[in-house]
Amino acid sequence: MKTHTRVVVIGGGVVGCSVLYHLTKLGWSDVTLIERSELTSGSTWHAAGGFHTLNGDTNMAALQGYTIRLYKELEAITGMSCGLHHVGGITLADNAARFEQLKAERAKHRYMGLDTEILGPEEIAKLTDGMVNLEGIVGALYDPLDGHLDPYGTTHAYAKAAKMGGAEIVLHTKVIATNPTRDGWEVVTDKGTITCEHLVNAGGLWAREVGAMAGVYLPLLPMAHQYIVTDDIPEIVARGGREFPHVMDPGGESYLRQEGRGFCIGFYEKPCEGWSIDGTPWTWGQELLPDAFDKIADSIEFSYRRFPALQRAGVKRVIHGPFTFAPDGNPLIGPVPGLRNYWSACAVMAGFSQGGGMGLALAQWMIEGEVERDPRGFDVSRFGNWTSPGYTVPKVIENYQMRFSVSYPNEERPAARPFRTTPMYEVFDKMDAVWGQQYGLEVPNYYALPGEPRYEEPSFKRSNAWEATRQEVLAVRNGVGINEVQNFGKYKVTGPNARAWLDRIMAGAIPKPGRLSLTPMLAHSGKIIGDFTVTCLSETEFQLTASYGAQGWHGRWFEQNMMEGVRVDNVSDAVSGFQIAGPQARELLSRVTRSDVSGEAFKFMDAKRMTVGMANCLVQRVSYTGDLGFEIFTDHMSVRHLWDVLNEAGKDLGIRAFGMRAMMSLRLDKWFGSWGREFSPDYTPAETGLDRFIRWNKEADWIGKAAATAEKASGPKRRLVNFVVDANDADVVAWEPIWLEGNVVGFCTSGGFSHWTGKSAAMGFLPADKVKDGLECEIEILGERRRATVHLAPLWDGDGARMRG
C-alpha cells in the first residue's frame, strides 16, 4: 500500500468502486480504494440487482438513466460482463391516485428524453402473457430501460476499469482511524498509514462508523430487506427464452423479475425492522440474516393473488440482508459541511440504479468544484447538525414502509414530528395550524377553518386547503396578514472585510447602510446557488436572508470561500419575527413603534433598527407577498411578545395569520420566483431573469463573473416565463411539459392558483426565440393538455404602486 495518494476511498461496494472509476475517468489517476474484506462485502453482494429510471426527482432520474447506459460502456472498456438484462419494466397502478402519479411521471419523461409510455390493462396482459392478475388495475407505466444485472460482475467491472485508469485497490485492510491534517487526511489502517488530500466515505453498512472516526454523524440506517427466488415456473419455461419484464406492484409493496426459469420477488413490507440501529458490527461481511417469513406474510399472500403462478412455485432460496437508507430515501453525497476535503458517498440504497450517477456526481464535485446537475436532492448537506439518531430511525422506517406509496406534491409525512419548533408553535397550534416541515422545522401551511379537519388531504388536484388558503390571501390583500419569518435562513456577516467579501461572493450590488438589496449568488460556472436579501447595518455588519432549507448548502459555500477579516454566523434559529403585509401593514406598524414609518421616512428597500412594543428589532420594508409589507426581526426570546403586540394592535384592522400555501399563491400575483423551483443550480441568471439584480460594473471579481458575462453577450437559449393556464381541478406543480405546435419545447418550474386574481398560474422555461406576450401553448397536467397563455406582466400591481408606495 502507498504511503500517500491524492484520494482515499473507504469501502469496496458498488458505490465506492463507481467513485474510484469516475475519478480516473475525469483525470485523477492517483487514487486508492481501501476495503477491509472483499469487494461487494456488505450490501452489494446480496442485492437483487434490479435497475430502473423512475424517480420523482428529475435530476435523480437523469442520473439513473446515466447509470444504466454506463453498463455497456464498462463492458466495452473492461471486456467483463455486467450480466445485463434490459427486459423493460412495468409499474402497476391499482387506483386513480397512483395512475395520476404515473401520468405525471410520464409527462416529466417527455422532455428528459426517456422513452416511457402509459399502458392500459390489455397492453399489460400482452406484455406479461396474462401472468398478472389485473383485477383492480387501472393502468401502468412502461420503461424499456428497466432491467437487472449481476451485482458481483458489475462491481468488479467498475473496479477493473478504475485500475485500468491508474487506481489502486487494497483489500483485507481495515481502517482504524481518520485524522485531519494541514493538507488533507491521515488514514490509519491495520496494515499501515496512508495520507491523502481527499477522503471519501463509501462505507455502506459501516458508513456511520467510518464517519464517527472523523467526528461526523451521517443520518442513515440499515434496514433488513427480504426477497425470494422460486423454483422453475412452467409459464416462464413456456415463454421460450423471452424474458419476463420487471413488474413493480406498489399496491402489494413488491417488485418481481425473472430469475433463471423462475421468479425473484422482493417486498417493502409495513412491519419492517431496522438492523443494527446502534452500529454495524465490524465482523459482519458476507452473511445473511435468518429468514423472517412472518414479517412478509401479508405481502406474500397479496403477491400470490397478483401473480397466481407463484402459488405453484417452490422457494429455492431466501435472501434476507441489510442495506442502508437515509431519512428521505435519497443518497448522501458530497462534501460534508465543516470538514475540509471529506466527502460522503453513502446511503445509496438503489446502488445499481444510482451508483454510476452518484459516482459521476461526486467525481465532478471533487475535480471541477461543482456538479453538472443540481445535486440538492442527494446532497449530504440537506440534513443539518440538528439531525440525530432519534430522528433518523423513525424517518428511515417510515420511508421504507412508504417506498411504494403514492407521493403527492402536498404530502406531509408524520414520522419524527413535531421535532423542531419555534416559540410560536403552541400559539399557532391552538389556532388550528395545519403544519408543514422545512429542514426539520414545523411551519404552518395554512389554518384550518372552523369545522374543517386539521390535515390537508394528499392530492394531485386542488385539496381541502383551498378555501382556507383563499381566505388568507384575501385577508392580506384587503387588510393585513401576519406570517412568522422563522423559515428564512439568516446570517450575520461582520468584520472589516465584510463588504469586500460580500462583493466577491455575491453577483449583485451590496447596499449602503440602512438599505437592502436582492442579489444572486453564483457558482464559478455562472449557475445560481442562492438568491439573497443583503441588509447593510453598517460598513462592518450585514444580515443575509435566504431559504431556510438551504442552510447547509449555503453555509458550506461560505466556508469554502472565506477570507481574512470576515466572520459569518448562522443565526437562523436565534433570530425570528414576523412579516406583516397588506394595505394596512404601515398603519399596524405605526401603532406599535415610536419610529417614523411613513412612506417618506421609510422607503421601499429601507432597513431600520427600531423598538416594536418592548422588543429591539430590525425592520425591513420588503415582502415576498408583493404587497406593502415589512419584515420584523428580533431575538428568539422576544418573539411571543412581538406577536402579542402586533396581534392586539391589529384586531380592528382585520389582522389574520397566513401560512405557506397563501404565501405561494400571493407570490404568483407578481411572478416572484422561488428557491429550488425557479432558482437552482440547474439555471443561470440570464435564463431566470435574476440577471437584472447583477451589478455588472462593480469592481470586484465576483464568483461566476466570467461565465455570466459570456452568457450576457451571447444571450440565453431559454427564458423563464409566466403562464395563465386554462386549468380544471388541478394546477401546475412542477416539471409538467410545455407543448408548442405539437412538440414539447419546455417544462414548468412551479405553479398554483392565484386566489386574488382567480387564475391558475404557472412559471416555466421556453426557448428564448419563442417568448412573446400572449403566446398560446399547452401545458400537460396529469396527462391532459391544457391551454396556456404567456403573460409577461404581473397579474396584480403591475406598476408596483402598492408594494413601493
Domain boundaries, the chain: 1-85+145-220+326-385, 488-658, 704-803
With both helix axes pointing from N to C terminus, report the angle between 351-368 and 151-164 in degrees, rounded to the nearest 10. 20
With both helix axes pointing from N to C terminus, report the angle between 14-25 and 151-164 in degrees, rounded to the nearest 10. 30
Cβ proximity of 802 and 746 under 8 Å: no
Instruction: Write the pLDDT tens digit of every residue in 584-629.
Output: 999 999 999 999 999 999 999 999 999 999 999 999 999 999 999 9
Lowest mean pLDDT segment, chosen from 44-53, 298-307, 397-406, 698-707: 44-53
Q: How far apart are the first and last CA of the chain?
A: 70
- Range 483-501 average pLDDT: 97
Instruction: Write the pLDDT tens digit of every residue in 257-271.
Output: 999 999 999 999 999
- Range 363-382 average pLDDT: 96
Residue environment code for 710-744, b if the CB has 16+ CB neighbours within 10 A, otherwise e? ebbeeebebbbbbbbbebeebbbbbbbbbbbeeee
Nearest to 583 by CA among 521, 529, 613, 625: 625
Per-residue pLDDT band at 286 (split at 50, 70, 90)? confident
**Residue 152, C-alpha cell as written in the block:** 458481483
Cα–Cα distances in angstroms (integers) from residue 389 to residues 43, 437, 444, 533, in the given order = 21, 18, 26, 34
Nearest to 559 by CA among 338, 336, 381, 368: 338
Cβ proximity of 440 and 429 under 8 Å: no
Rounded Cα–Cα distance for residues 725 and 192 (Å) = 65
Please give the distance of CA 538 from its chain centroid, rounded to a whole number: 36
Instruction: Write the pLDDT tens digit of every residue in 91-137.
Output: 999 999 999 999 999 988 888 878 899 999 999 999 999 999 999 99
Lowest mean pLDDT segment, chosen from 254-268, 285-299, 707-721: 285-299
- Range 142-158 average pLDDT: 93
> How many angstroms separate the most distant Cα atoms in the chain?
87
**Residue 566, C-alpha cell as written in the block:** 470576515
Nearest to 560 by CA among 374, 382, 343, 337: 337
pLDDT of residue 46: 80
Cβ proximity of 306 and 133 under 8 Å: yes
Lowest mean pLDDT segment, chosen from 272-286, 742-756, 767-781: 272-286
Cβ proximity of 259 and 229 under 8 Å: yes
Instruction: Write the pLDDT tens digit of every residue in 173-206.
Output: 999 999 999 999 999 999 999 999 999 999 999 9
User: Could you tell me where the beta strands, DSSP code E, fall in 234-390?
Assistant: 246-249, 254-259, 262-267, 315-325, 332-335, 342-346
CB atoms within 10 A of CB 329: 17
Phi, psi dihedral angles at 166 (to 5 degrees): 110, -5
Please give the distance of CA 415 from its chain centroid, rounded to a whole number: 18
Residue 285 is classified by DSSP as S
The 3-state secondary structure of 351-366 reads HHHHHHHHHHHHHHHH
Cα–Cα distances in angstroms (integers) from residue 682 to residues 59, 209, 532, 675, 678, in the given order = 9, 34, 17, 11, 9
Q: Which residues contact 278 (CB under 8 A, 6 or more apart)?
A: none
pLDDT for residue 50 is more than 90 = no
pLDDT of residue 61: 85
**Residue 369, C-alpha cell as written in the block:** 468544484
pLDDT of residue 580: 98
Rounded Cα–Cα distance for residues 428 and 438 (Å) = 16
Cβ proximity of 603 and 619 under 8 Å: no
Rounded Cα–Cα distance for residues 33 and 579 (Å) = 52
pLDDT for residue 52 is more than 90 = no
Cβ proximity of 21 and 165 under 8 Å: yes
Mean pLDDT of the chain: 95
Helices (H), 431-522: 466-478, 498-505
pLDDT of residue 114: 81
Stronger pLDDT, 24 or 52, i.e. the higher one: 24
**In the chain, % of residues over pLDDT 90:** 92
pLDDT of residue 112: 82
Rounded Cα–Cα distance for residues 533 and 104 (Å) = 34
Burial class (CB in 10 A: 0-12, 13-18, 19+), 515: middle
Lowest mean pLDDT segment, chosen from 53-62, 567-576, 709-718: 53-62
Rounded Cα–Cα distance for residues 589 and 296 (Å) = 60
Residue 771 is classified by DSSP as -
- Range 686-695 average pLDDT: 98
CATH architecture of the domain formed by 488-658: 2-Layer Sandwich (3.30)
The sign of the dihedral angle between the CA atoms of 530, 534, 540, 541 is: negative
Cβ proximity of 366 and 381 under 8 Å: no
> What CATH number labels 704-803?
2.40.30.110
DSSP string, 251-265: GGTEEEEEETTEEEE
Instruction: Give the total residue count for the chain.
Output: 805
pLDDT for residue 699 is more than 90 = yes
pLDDT for residue 58 is more than 90 = no
Rounded Cα–Cα distance for residues 18 and 70 (Å) = 11
Coil/strand/helix, residue 96? helix
The 3-state secondary structure of 212-238 reads HHCCCCCCCEEEEEEEEEECCCHHHHC
Cβ proximity of 552 and 458 under 8 Å: no
Per-residue pLDDT band at 360 (split at 50, 70, 90)? very high
pLDDT for residue 56 is more than 80 = no
pLDDT for residue 45 is more than 80 = no
Phi, psi dihedral angles at 714 (to 5 degrees): -90, -25
pLDDT of residue 576: 96
CB atoms within 10 A of CB 335: 23
pLDDT for residue 162 is more than 80 = yes
pLDDT for residue 475 is more than 90 = yes
Rounded Cα–Cα distance for residues 188 and 259 (Å) = 42
Nearest to 257 by CA among 86, 485, 493: 86
> What CATH number labels 1-85+145-220+326-385?
3.50.50.60
Cβ proximity of 776 and 787 under 8 Å: yes
pLDDT for residue 410 is more than 90 = yes
pLDDT of residue 803: 94
Stronger pLDDT, 40 or 507, i.e. the higher one: 507
Give the strands of the sheet with 607-612, arranged side by side. 607-612, 615-620, 629-635, 575-581, 481-484, 656-657
pLDDT for residue 656 is more than 90 = yes
Find where cell 396581534 sits.
Answer: 647
Fold equal for 1-85+145-220+326-385 and 488-658: no
Rounded to the nearest 5 degrees, what angle is found at the Cα of 539, between the Cα atoms of 534 and 542? 30
